[in-house]
Amino acid sequence: MGAMQKEAFLRELLGRMSLAEKVGQLNLLAGGMDSTGMKIPENFARKIRDGRCGAVLNVYTPAATRELQEMALAAPHAIPLLFGYDVIHGHRTIFPIPLGLACSWNLELIEKTAAAAAVEAAADGLHWVFSPMADVCQDARWGRVAEGAGEDPWLGSRIAAAMVRGYQGGENPVAACVKHFALYGASKAGRDYHEVDMSRREMEETHFPPYRAAVDAGARTVMTSFNLIDGIPASANRWLLTDLLRRRWCFTGWVVTDYTAVGEMKNHGTAADDADCAAQAFSAGADMDMMSEAFETELPELVAAGVIDEAAVDAAVMRILGTKWDLGLFDDPFARCDEARAASVHLCSAHRKLARQAARESIVLLKNDDDLLPLSRDASIALIGPLADSRRDMLGCWHAAGDERDASSPLDGFRALSRGEILHAPGCRVAEENPAWLADAVAAANHAEVVVLVLGESLEMYGEAACRTDIRLPECQRLLADAILETGKPCVLVTISGRPLELTDSSDCFQSSIHAWAPGTEGGRALAEVVYGQFSPIGKLTMGFPRRVGQLPMTYREKPAGRPFQSDVSYSSRYLDCPNDALFPFGHGLTYGKIELGELRLEPVEMPPAGSVTATIALSNPGARAVTETVQLYLRDPVASVSRPVKELRGYRRVTMEPGEERTISFVLTDADLAFPGPDFEPIVEPGGFEVMAGLCSRHLRSARFVRLAQ
């Protein structure tokens, strides 16, 4: 049915709706199958029956959505409900947490995981997912760093766009919802819901690009963040939601606020009461109110009083009804209430296979002294640690309808692959000592040939409202690690977490260290495959691991400063008690074997305006096994009208090289790669020298220079 029919149908429906019913479409209420906010709606069913609710979150399954849909269709104008849920890294088949999946740097894989999540969510009655989370973050204290793609806006932009394509591009699309707009990842002191304050330049250079990329990829909806922007809550920030998002970025979808964010303007001290909240938020450009119920209760009177124009309400309602039309809800509101379809796609072999591959590629090998890894499958292994047999902590935060019973723990993985003895001992609880367990763990270590120690965070220790001032392993786990190290046995440290950890005191002591994030339903199996070498690790960090929490916030793409660090200059940018750089930097990740980088050549060395420069890097594999690596390209503009970062990621390529193979790979740089926000924050390119750097992480880089000629 064409656009004309859609417009005619929706206009006719709108024309029959009362103001209360129109405002009802702007009301998003939470059902009770999950809890993602404090407030619980009153008269939930009554409001649905009366047509005073347009969408529901935290309800899924064919049966549960059918029941509510039937209620909604019994209302006077039988407008179907939109069902949304936090499917952010899978629905029933759970993929690695987004920060882990990002470490694959594999956009095709990431898109496939979003597409699979869409298939499973749609089969469970859902139309809308609150994903991708595109908040850039440089502070691992913030628990929600787990939900995003890390610290780099260039890579984060590509990942957010890939997820939007995956969610919205398939046969059973779901509407994507890019969040949290905007700047939420810069919450001060890494404390959730804390204030955010930054320059417009930092917004444009660091935080806006991934949101913009998701919008440009066609995201149907945007979710506002809890924080202030220039002193005004994002949900009521007209500059953000109308001037920037709609006018400058040409966003044609609609805006939903985060959970009770409209009402929380009273706490921010920018609104006196719910009427004031509703007036400010709706006028600013928020279309749908998640769980404050301020729109539903206040907008009719605000329209009657002439504060809000009913035409503006009509426009918002049309945007929301348009999504319902596009998703087929007016054709068949029960199309997604199909138990047989749900049973056929949930945890299907194709999705489990995809989850296994995603977990493999998310795992990062942080160190591997003396090539202790991979281990022999015949080795006797003491598998020790409070997370060694945890299935639920493989799923991570926001695991939607994921069920730990469907997941493999590390112990499951090792038992499935080992041909030797596996001795399992927890050693302690996640955050609680147990002397007897500690003794058993030491005994197991003494008995075995090698120890695999699985430590880290339970899924409650990160995610929303789960920030930490101390991002080391819990003390009981550090004591367990010390006891195991005293046995003198070869030991592999495996860490599970939702954030970069402060591993300085731990990983220095271990020959080998693997970070597996929360690797998802197939995580335990994938981890064992990496440890046994059935899959060589290829993950690369998208967020650096600090040496000390006191370094945070930190980023590899820092500005050079007027007194850049110089080891022999006291008056230079430094700490007295810690180096400036990360323990494991952005882009870091080892593999079994290595690829060596040769000469980096640039051609031409003078780039004409609107021309290009080709960077060619020589590679070789001197070892006896095939090696897959991700070669990264960074750029620096050392002299510009504003201070530019010491380096910025501008390209990467995954390469697989056979033993003894030599080859070159090339990257083509154009003005688009050199551009940065100018005085009016539109992209500009300035002539002058540029430095190109290439390497296998953001450190230890080959470099060469070219000049971009003036117009």
Q: What residues act catalytically?
A: 258
Min separation Cβ 49 and ligand GLC, Å: 23
Structure tokens belonging to residue 219: 């995201």
Cβ proximity to ligand GLC, 214 vs 441, nearer residue = 214
Q: Which amino acid is at 565?
A: F
Min separation Cβ 268 and ligand GLC, Å: 16
Give the strand pairing for 232-233 and 450-456. unpaired
Give the strand pairing for 27-30 and 289-290. parallel
User: H helices within 240-309, ranges in order?
Assistant: 265-268, 274-284, 294-304
Min separation Cβ 470 and ligand GLC, Å: 24
Q: Which amino acid is at 414?
A: F
Min separation Cβ 185 and ligand GLC, Å: 12
Tell which one of 135, 258, 289, 293 touches ligand GLC (CB under 6 A): 258
Residue 413 Ramachandran class (φ > 0 left, ψ -120 to 50 alpha, else beta):
alpha
Tell which one of 60, 130, 634, 676 touches ligand GLC (CB under 6 A): 130
Is residue 179 involved in binding ligand GLC (CB under 6 A)?
yes
Distance CA 322, CA 220 (A): 10
CB under 8 Å to 5, separation ≥6 — which residues?
Answer: none
Cβ proximity to ligand GLC, 260 vs 512, nearer residue = 260
How would you list the strands of the sheet with 177-181, edge to edge?
177-181, 221-224, 254-256
Is residue 135 involved in binding ligand GLC (CB under 6 A)?
no
Min separation Cβ 361 and ligand GLC, Å: 25
Radius of gyration in angstroms for the set of CA atoms belonging to the chain, rounded to a whole number: 26
Q: Phi first, then psi: what are they for 579, rounded to 5°?
A: -60, 165
Is residue 298 involved in binding ligand GLC (CB under 6 A)?
no
H or E element that contains 221:
strand 221-224
When CB distances to ligand GLC are compared, the closest residue is: 36
Q: Are 147 and 88 in contact (CB under 8 A)?
A: yes
Contact mark string toward ligand GLC, 17..56, x via CB under 6 A: -------------------xx-------------------
Contact mark string toward ligand GLC, 535..564, x via CB under 6 A: ------------------------------
Cβ proximity to ligand GLC, 100 vs 589, nearer residue = 100
H or E element that contains 452:
strand 450-456
Tell which one of 139, 464, 522, 648 touches ligand GLC (CB under 6 A): 464
Distance CA 251, CA 419 (A): 56
Min separation Cβ 267 and ligand GLC, Å: 14
Instruction: Tell me the number of residues near ligand GLC by CB under 6 A.
Output: 9
Min separation Cβ 32 and ligand GLC, Å: 13
Tell which one of 86, 124, 264, 289 touches ligand GLC (CB under 6 A): 86
Burial annotation 272-284 (CB, 10 A radius, 16+ → b, else e): eebbbbbbbbbbb
Tell which one of 259, 510, 592, 634 touches ligand GLC (CB under 6 A): 259
Cβ proximity to ligand GLC, 234 vs 388, nearer residue = 234
Tell which one of 23, 29, 57, 448 touches ligand GLC (CB under 6 A): 57
Angle between helical axes of 435-447 and 475-486 (0-180°, round to 10): 30
Cβ proximity to ligand GLC, 147 vs 502, nearer residue = 147
Cβ proximity to ligand GLC, 144 vs 525, nearer residue = 144
Q: Are 396 and 439 in contact (CB under 8 A)?
A: no
Structure tokens belonging to residue 98: 């987004």
For every residue of 503-551, DSSP letters joined together read: -HHHHTT-SEEEE--S--TTHHHHHHHHHTTSS------SSPBPSSGGG
Cβ proximity to ligand GLC, 177 vs 619, nearer residue = 177
What number of CA atoms fall less than 13 Å from residue 14's CA on the CB side?
21
Min separation Cβ 182 and ligand GLC, Å: 13
Cβ proximity to ligand GLC, 23 vs 222, nearer residue = 222
Note the residues at the interface with ligand GLC (CB under 6 A).
36-37, 57, 86, 130, 179, 258-259, 464
